[in-house]
Structure 1
Amino acid sequence: MADIKGSAVPILHFRGCDAKGMRLAAVTIRPDGAPAPGPVEAGAETVAPVLLARVAGLSVWRHDFHLAPGDAGYRLDGRDHAVVTRLDGDIRFAFVSCNGEENGDLDRDSAERNLMWAQLRADHARAPFALLLQGGDQIYADEATRGQPLSEDWPERVPESPSSADLADLVRHLEDRFAQRYMMVLAAEACAGLFAGVPSLSVWDDHDICDGWGSLPESCTESAVGQALFGVARRMYLLFQHGATDADVPALFADPTGSSLGWRRDLPGVTLFAPDLRSERRRQRVMGPGGWAAVETMQPAGDHVFMVSSVPLLGPRLSLLETLMMAVPRMQHYEDDLRDQWQSHAHRDEWRRMLGQILRMRKTAPVTILSGEIHLATRAEMGPHDTLIHQLVASGISHRAPPKGYARALGLFAGLGEAPLPGHPIRIRPLPGQKHRYVAERNFLTLERAGGRWQAVWHLEESGPTPPLLLD
């Protein structure tokens, strides 16, 4: 049974907008045997909970409801939760990624681990957010495989023919370990009230499964143990990050088959979309047919498009670094990390294909890419000016930053530039108010539309908020 302290209640998920207003789902997680939550009172609606799943000693309940523009929020179990319901004027979003660490994350001091979450909550109290965008690695599940014979040495050793009984035991072990990590995140004191009042939209990345998923050898990922790991990670991602099960996939994701879990949501004046860069990933590809069909048929409807790419789309010449490192035997164990990037030799054609799709969308409206993954804060531009595309990277809401020397060295390397599409050079730029291209501090990003214009501010652990960057 997952080791939890209290309950996670509630977690709000953004489903979209329609004629009645915002469509929302509130998820409540309680120990098995605990009473069900009461009804949600939202405007004129009173909605009873539905039992979504039982897993790892937990019962997961969901309320589906609407909030009309001007509604103050909703009431559940005697407590009022304020929600921003007017989305057609001045609004604010928050963007976070990399909420954890590979080793020892469960044992970290909560106040230290969640320091930036506490700052985000304080910023929400000052000026409420309408949405919380989570860009990948919401948990770090890398140690979830430990303590079970089939997966103890994953991925270095992969059992060839495990029995059905042993695989079933592995699934139970993984469900418990994944649930434990999700509960640590969702019930954190620093996040109290934030998840209940700010609807989330999430996309996953490798640590939500295991480090390097899809860039590891396929003898690992396609094995019985690998598929058991992916299956549990996927169910837990749907349940804890979307308040959903497989039955909800056709309504929530762009690929109704569920092969790809990319999504799109439209708000007044805004199109948000996130391709799934993990479900169909292999060593020789980033996305499969389901993912590409969703991207290539998408027609933006808003005045501004925000793309969430769990791995930065605009980056330096990592293919050159990949070539150099693979020539040095001691550095070859970094191959999976480099293959994870769009700029890898293995993915260059797909990278150009995606950049071409972003340029297609840019003809309709300005496009801003939001990304995480690298545990640093930075930004990039691809242009000329008349088709300029911004990329904003905010990575490390709780993952401690790498050494500043690493960030400086990467900044020097980024000075070489990159131009995968002729006439559209990519440039890595310093954040507003910063001298260097990469900032090695924990951080999160806020996005604000005021008077019809979007701007972005990075919130850095040591340096504080940056001056605003206009996204015209």
Structure 2
Amino acid sequence: MTPIPDRIGPILYFRAAEPDALRVAALVARPEGETPGDMEVAGTPVIPQLLATCEGRAVWRYDLTLPHGSPFYGFEGVERRVVTELSGDLRIAFVSCNGEEHGDLGRDASERNVMWQRLLGQHQAAPYALMLMGGDQIYADEATHGHPLTEDWPDRVPDATPAQLEELETHLRARFFERYLRTFSAPGFTEVSAEVPALCVWDDHDICDGWGSLRRDATSSAIGQLLFRIARETYLLFQHGATEADIPDLFLDPEGRSLSWRHELPGLTLLAPDLRSERGRRQVMGTAGWHGVETTKGGPQTFVVSSVPLLGPRLSLVESLMMAIPRMQKYEDDLRDQWQSHAHREEWRRMLSEVLRMRKAGPITVLSGEIHLATRAEMGSGPEQIHQLVASGISHRAPPQAYARCLGALAGLGEAPLPGRPIRIRPLPGQVTRYVAERNYLRLERRGGQWRAIWELEESGPTPAMAL
């Protein structure tokens, strides 16, 4: 394995669309003790702020305001252009599942990042203005390996002394830093992220597989809480260019109990509920998370980023079957992670009702990842219809075709958690099956005020455009 990178960036993060400018943050990592190079906008230098250090690396942030008339910034001798005018035609990329559970850091870079290279080529031909990252930006599952306290996490949760926990904290922070530094220095991602500001929401693998759906004695233990704290710290740092002090400015809950966010762009509302910070085995969101959803009014077009698909097949049947078979019960947390779980049924209905409320202000589309397949779904019809677009697996390899066919058969049974508003899983444009087992990402394009969606599939190529 190659040495851990000691320099990455700049990586751009969206902050706000102002009437005459775009505000972004730019994150860079450099060897500790080295001051990063000059950055400037319209000839004016921008002074960086040191955010964190770990394992000989220092992470810095530049806060940039890019005027519409001068959408460029320079860094270390390279000038880059950013789309700053967001009121007209617009291109947005949606990606998720940027890694794998086992051995991700040792994969061949050309194989792993082929879809990032495709996204880069499209950006160079017709620039993207924004990149929505819908969860599992890293796969941190193996970060717990290599330390005796967490080698068998979460199956074994030993007691630990304060000194042992302090040692484990050092280990976990170093491993999370390593994963972000390696993942965010990947070919394709590096070039895209230097010119396309990102908005990110996390999912379980950004913490550990199944976080919040695991046994409570594991997640509430001192070790579990330490793992969550380090995952949160590095999530803020590398996925938002932020620290705890920035939370009131970036998220809907100023206290940070929930890391849900909402942004208003010209003609577009973006909402991303945090489905992890307050999650428990019988809860998807707590008071803070629900407040963020309930205070969102919607607009001419609303995109809701739900890291776990909101419209899905009747997985509760599979959950019941698995619980009846002892050797299958180890997969319980995978199904409890879903909105459709028996444990979350009432919350699922509540969320669907809130989405219908937002729909009254204008069209609404749910964007989801997580399942390593591409698909779409609809709820209801006519003026209350809700679309869901699932794009999952920009670098995670696709599951077997048989898995996609089985899930498609299950979807044929139908589901209607809200009376009179059935959920239907539909094939992508140009496809005949409900689920496509290929790596993929999504293009969202506004042309002449009309939105359309195009899935970019690894083998099949782009789908025909679907009107939203």
So what's the TM-score if we normalise by structure 1?
Answer: 0.97
Whole-Å separation in 1 of the counterparts to 2:268 and 2:141: 35
Query: For residues 25-60 of structure 1, what are the alpha-carbon distances to aligned partners after superposition, in whole Å with 9 as ceiling and x for unaligned?
Result: 01111111223332x322364321111111232111
Could you tell me which amino acid in structure 1 is paired with residue 280 of structure 2? R
**Over 6 Å off, 4+ runs:** none
Whole-Å separation in 2 of the counterparts to 1:124 and 1:304: 23
Q: Which residue of 2 aligns with 1:34?
A: 34
Q: Which residue of 2 aligns with 1:234?
A: 232
> Is this contact kept in 2: 1:28–1:37, CA < 8 A?
no
Q: Could you list the runs of 5+ residues in structure 2 that have no partner in the other structure?
A: none
Could you tell me which amino acid in structure 2 is paired with residue 63 of structure 1? Y
Residue 78 in 1 paired to residue 77 in 2?
Answer: yes
Could you tell me which amino acid in structure 2 is paired with residue 384 of structure 1? S
Q: Which residue of 2 aligns with 1:140?
A: 139
Kindly report which structure 2 residues correspond to 1:10-409, keeping only aligned pairs within 5 A, or say none: 10-38=10-38, 40-43=39-42, 45-160=44-159, 162-300=160-298, 302-409=299-406
Whole-Å separation in 2 of the counterparts to 1:9 and 1:384: 45
Could you tell me which amino acid in structure 1 is paired with residue 192 of structure 2? L
Could you tell me which amino acid in structure 2 is paired with residue 220 of structure 1? A
Whole-Å separation in 2 of the counterparts to 1:25 and 1:389: 33
What's the CA shift for 1:181? 0.8
Query: For residues 115-161 of structure 1, what are the alpha-carbon distances to aligned partners after superposition, in whole Å with 9 as ceiling and x for unaligned?
Result: 1111111111111000010000000000000000111110000012x
Whole-Å separation in 2 of the counterparts to 1:158 and 1:298: 40
Pick aligned residue for 1:428 from 425, 435, 442: 425
Whole-Å separation in 2 of the counterparts to 1:35 and 1:244: 19
So what's the TM-score if we normalise by structure 2?
Answer: 0.98
Kindly report which structure 2 residues correspond to 1:448-467, keeping only aligned pairs within 5 A, or say none: 448-467=445-464
Other structure's SS at 1:428 match: strand
Query: For residues 367-423 of structure 1, what are the alpha-carbon distances to aligned partners after superposition, in whole Å with 9 as ceiling and x for unaligned?
Result: 000000000000000112221111000000000100001101110110111111111
What's the CA shift for 1:308? 0.5
Query: For residues 5-35 of structure 1, what are the alpha-carbon distances to aligned partners after superposition, in whole Å with 9 as ceiling and x for unaligned?
Result: 3511200000012244211101111111223
Other structure's SS at 2:276 match: coil
Query: For residues 84-128 of structure 1, what are the alpha-carbon distances to aligned partners after superposition, in whole Å with 9 as ceiling and x for unaligned?
Result: 111000010000000000000111001101111111111111110
Whole-Å separation in 2 of the counterparts to 1:267 and 1:44: 27
> Is this contact kept in 2: 1:286–1:350, CA < 8 A?
yes
> Is this contact kept in 2: 1:171–1:228, CA < 8 A?
yes
What's the CA shift for 1:325? 1.6
Could you tell me which amino acid in structure 1 is paired with residue 18 of structure 2? D
> Is this contact kept in 2: 1:56–1:172, CA < 8 A?
no
What's the CA shift for 1:458? 0.4
Greater alpha carbon shift after TM alignment, 62-71 vs 310-319: 62-71
Greater alpha carbon shift after TM alignment, 41-50 vs 27-36: 41-50
Whole-Å separation in 1 of the counterparts to 2:94 and 2:56: 31
Greater alpha carbon shift after TM alignment, 403-412 vs 66-75: 66-75
Could you tell me which amino acid in structure 2 is paired with residue 196 of structure 1? A
> Is this contact kept in 2: 1:20–1:66, CA < 8 A?
no
Other structure's SS at 1:360 match: helix
What's the CA shift for 1:449? 0.1
Instruction: Give the percent of matched residue pairs that are identical in Structure 1 and Structure 2.
Output: 63
> Is this contact kept in 2: 1:23–1:67, CA < 8 A?
yes
Whole-Å separation in 2 of the counterparts to 1:410 and 1:36: 49
Other structure's SS at 1:459 match: strand
Whole-Å separation in 2 of the counterparts to 1:24 and 1:195: 12
Assess, with a 3 A threshold, how the Cα gap between structure 1 residues 148 and 467 changes in structure 2: closer, same or farther.
Answer: same
What's the CA shift for 1:297? 1.3
Query: For residues 252-302 of structure 1, what are the alpha-carbon distances to aligned partners after superposition, in whole Å with 9 as ceiling and x for unaligned?
Result: 0000000100001111000001000000000000001110011111222x3
Whole-Å separation in 2 of the counterparts to 1:147 and 1:71: 49
> Is this contact kept in 2: 1:141–1:209, CA < 8 A?
yes
Could you tell me which amino acid in structure 2 is paired with residue 65 of structure 1? L
What's the CA shift for 1:186? 1.1
Could you tell me which amino acid in structure 2 is paired with residue 23 of structure 1? R
Query: For residues 184-223 of structure 1, what are the alpha-carbon distances to aligned partners after superposition, in whole Å with 9 as ceiling and x for unaligned?
Result: 1111122232111000000000000000000001100000
Q: Which residue of 1 aligns with 2:7?
A: 7
Whole-Å separation in 2 of the counterparts to 1:54 and 1:184: 16
Assess, with a 3 A threshold, how the Cα gap between structure 1 residues 408 and 59 changes in structure 2: closer, same or farther.
Answer: same
Query: For residues 231-262 of structure 1, what are the alpha-carbon distances to aligned partners after superposition, in whole Å with 9 as ceiling and x for unaligned?
Result: 00000000000000000000000000001000
> Is this contact kept in 1: 2:51–2:59, CA < 8 A?
yes
